[in-house]
A and B are shown apart, each in its own frame.
Chain A
Amino acid sequence: MIEVRNVIKYYGNVTALDDVSFTVNEGEIVGFLGPNGAGKSTMMNIITGYLSSTSGDVSVCGIDVLEYPDEAKKRIGFLPEQPPLYREMTVLEYLNFVYDLKKCTLDRKAHIAEILSVTKTADVKDRLIGNLSKGYRQRVGITEALVGNPPVMIFDEPTVGLDPKQIIEIRNLIRNLGKNHTVILSTHILTEVQSVCDRILIINEGRLIADEKTADISRAVGSNRTYSVKVSGPRRDVLRELRALPGVKGAEDTGDGDSDGAVFAVEADRGVDVRRPMFNMLASKGWPIMELTPRGMSLEEVFVMITDEDEKRRASRGVKKTGGDGKR
């Protein structure tokens, strides 16, 4: 559905994208994950034809974006980072304008009524966009992307600046859209891609460092589980026993704690569920567990992990290369 081959983009001397290639299949919801400034927006702007790549090809539904821009653009619905809304228009006027702009051929009234109901914006359709709240503006932006029912939808950070309830609503909306559309969305929130996307592309400093199914990433992320345990017992003894426990890679005294007990951070070996032995051991010593919380990996930790692996991979390739050079 979307094919990106060896895309490179320079802004002056700055490399924004460095040889990025990937494909997105029909009906997939793909998440672009990366810190701010990683090149997510640049990649999306190139797919939609707003920016041009320095080199490389992008095709949407088999149509080259550079060669046949109009045909490609007709097949893409795009919500940029900042929704492109005209404040002085009402929602209905705006959607009618977008309808004309995209040269739609669907029945105007029925189509606009339909997408208004999909995004639940029908009740504000006669209000000026300038007077809408942030959440509604975001939804009007998504409605705009839906005009013409394009097969490919691209959302650049669709949930930034929304309150938690709105974030859940927008995520559900995108998940529903994914049933009939191919969706790419970008975010810097790990849980967002985990809850919405089928596949995750991780991008850092302009390079694609991971292209995995969401389930695989979750497993990778979950492989080294860390727990935060609050134990009622003598600090030093508890720490010593925790460290001695088989399956525990390391344990730290976090220094936190209250009258209930002290809080320890326990990291388990890869693939080992350390909770049972930990419970049994502490119970046998008579030190009750007051709290046990699995600590999810933060995006930063995922990044460190994946970039480390990536660098190791590159380093090993580099060694082979220099070996080859040596023979010459």
Chain B
Amino acid sequence: MTAIFRRELRSYFTTPLGYVFCAVYLAASGFLFAVFTLRSGTSDVSSFSRMMIFGFVVLLPVLTMRTFSEEKRLRTDQLLLTSPVSVTGIVLGKFLSALTVFAGSLLLSCLYVIPLGRYAAEHSPVNGARTFGCFFAMFLIGMCFIAVGIFVSTLTESPVAAAIGTMAILILFSTVSLFNGMIDSYAVRTVLSWFSVYARFANFAYGIFDFSALVYYLSFTAVFLFLAVRVTDRRRWS
């Protein structure tokens, strides 16, 4: 697993993908931060976080699109699958490397809080718990999105198809809470609300550590990684 993790991480930065991701992430987050906190003169980062999560829908699929589809296309999966490494190890290695690139960019964007403390402090002091909660929730939601992206990447040989497919699923997941109220059937509403990644964000934004939401995000990630393992395993039997 560590060998795959290290190779993946290195490959993000020996190909342009990692740099492009970091650059676009920082540019987008910087812009959104300027508009939604600094310009509105508030120290509340929750609206910035909400916008960023919509940004993740477009950005994170780019990070995960190649993980499995490229290996299949170039037949390098034959090396991985004929090595003494479990499929779970392969999936986890790839997941953790994508998560590391994302978390690194997120950590860099945490620096934005510093000017916030200096300029916005006069009329609305920075609330540590709320700010931390927002960034922590962003990390958790990003983690879920990466798991979905890796799962979709195992389904296809085309990175572009993987990216678009992931975006479509993520758009659905992050807008469920918007249209869910319009659905009459209680059963459908309940099932859809399980996938409403966005709805569980609220408590973190109030600075409350929502343990059930944490468990939700972790199990959401685990389910999609498990599906990725199953799909990869199943290919051998088809």
B-binding residues in A (CB < 8 A): 11-12, 45, 48-52, 69-71, 73-74, 76, 78, 80-82, 84-89, 93, 97-98, 100-103, 144
Contact = CB atoms under 8 A, between A and B. Distances in A.
B86 interface: yes
Given A11-B238, A84-B79, A89-B14, A97 B86 contact: no
Given A73-B83, A101-B80, A80 B3 contact: no
Given A84-B78, A86-B7, A101-B85, 14 more contacts: A51-B236, A70-B85, A74-B84, A78-B78, A81-B75, A84-B79, A85-B74, A85-B76, A86-B11, A88-B11, A88-B15, A98-B79, A101-B4, A102-B83
Most buried by B among A11, A49, A81: A49
20 contacts: A11-B238, A45-B78, A48-B82, A70-B86, A73-B82, A74-B84, A80-B78, A84-B74, A84-B76, A84-B80, A86-B7, A86-B11, A89-B7, A89-B11, A93-B10, A97-B7, A98-B83, A100-B6, A101-B79, A101-B85
A144 B82 CA distance: 12
Nearest to B3: A100
A49 B78 contact: no
B14 to A, nearest CB: 5
A292 B31 CA distance: 84
B110 interface: no
Contact of B81 (A11, A50, A76): A50
A50 B78 CA distance: 7
A49 B81 contact: yes
Nearest to B70: A86
Contacts of B74: 82, 84-87
B237 interface: yes
Contacts of A73: 82-84
B2 interface: yes
A98 B4 CA distance: 10
Most buried by A among B14, B78, B79: B79
A50 B75 contact: no
Nearest to A77: B82
Contacts of B77: 84
Most buried by A among B10, B80, B83: B83
**Majority-rule SS of B interface residues:** helix
Most buried by B among A86, A98, A103: A86
A88 B79 contact: no
Interface of B: 2-4, 6-7, 10-11, 14-15, 74-86, 236-238
Contacts of B2: 100
A103 B4 CA distance: 12
Nearest to A10: B238
A48 B237 CA distance: 14
Given A86-B76, A97-B7, A50 B236 contact: yes
B84 A52 contact: no
Given A84-B75, A88-B11, A100-B2, A70 B84 contact: yes
A37 to B, nearest CB: 17
A52 B236 contact: yes
A49 B14 contact: no
A82 B3 contact: no
Contacts of B10: 93
Contacts of B11: 86, 88-89
B196 to A, nearest CB: 38
Contacts of A48: 82
Contacts of B78: 45, 50, 78, 80, 84
Most buried by A among B14, B74, B78, B82: B82
Nearest to B79: A84
B146 to A, nearest CB: 21
B95 to A, nearest CB: 17
A91 B68 CA distance: 22
Contacts of A82: 74-75
B3 A101 contact: yes
A11 B80 CA distance: 22
A81 to B, nearest CB: 8
Contacts of A69: 84
Contacts of B14: 88-89
A85 B79 CA distance: 9
A78 B82 CA distance: 8
Contacts of A93: 10
A213 B53 CA distance: 66
Contacts of A88: 11, 14-15
A299 to B, nearest CB: 26
A312 to B, nearest CB: 36
A310 to B, nearest CB: 30
Contacts of A98: 79, 83
A48 to B, nearest CB: 4
A49 B83 CA distance: 9
B236 A76 contact: no
Contacts of A51: 236
A103 B81 contact: no
A118 to B, nearest CB: 19
A294 B78 CA distance: 43
A50 B81 CA distance: 6
